[in-house]
Structure 1
Amino acid sequence: MTSGPPDQPGTPAGRERLVGLFVLGVAAVLLVSSVTWFGSDQAGVGIAQVICGLVVAAVGGFLVRRARSRG
């Protein structure tokens, strides 16, 4: 294992933080792109994508917070 500050990418907390930020980015893309479904008269798909985006954002936020508490 590498030594160094806990928030560096080589440490478990650093990796968890990076994964959390990546997941938050995926959630942002899901939420922003859901608008296209509403514009094409497929509101059901848009609502499902918004719900999925919110769940993914919650998971990403949890991972980032958990990594900060470990660091």
Structure 2
Amino acid sequence: MTSPAGDRRERLVALLVAGVAVVLLVSSVTWFAGDRTVVGVAQVFLGAVLAAVAAFLYRRARHR
């Protein structure tokens, strides 16, 4: 069993990862506009993976 401070830290890490995912997803539009489609697709893929990781971490921290 983890302490309340540990649970809070895990939630904060999950929110940080979610924030990075949002920035990647929102800023990927600039790559598509600049005809750098491959970079845009890679950034969208990485953003989606990080969003999934953030959701997993946040759910895990809440259920402890």
Please state which band the TM-score falls in when normalised by the shorter chain.
Answer: over 0.9
**Counterpart selection for 1:57 from 44, 51, 54:** 51
The answer to which structure has the higher helix fraction is 2
Count of residues paired in the alignment: 62
Encode CA deviations 1:24-54: one digit per residue, 9 max, x unaligned.
0000000000000000000000000000000
Name the structure, 1 or 2, with higher relative contact order (CA <8 Å, separation 6+). Answer: 2
Q: What are the within-5 Å matches in structure 2 for residues 1-71 of structure 1?
A: 6=4, 11-70=5-64
- Structure 1 runs of 4+ aligned residues shifted over 6 Å read none
Q: Percent identity?
A: 65
Tell me the CA shift for residue 13 of structure 1: 1.0
Structure showing greater radius of gyration is 1
Structure 2 stretches lacking a partner, 5+ long:
none
Tell me the CA shift for residue 57 of structure 1: 0.6
Structure 1 stretches lacking a partner, 5+ long:
none
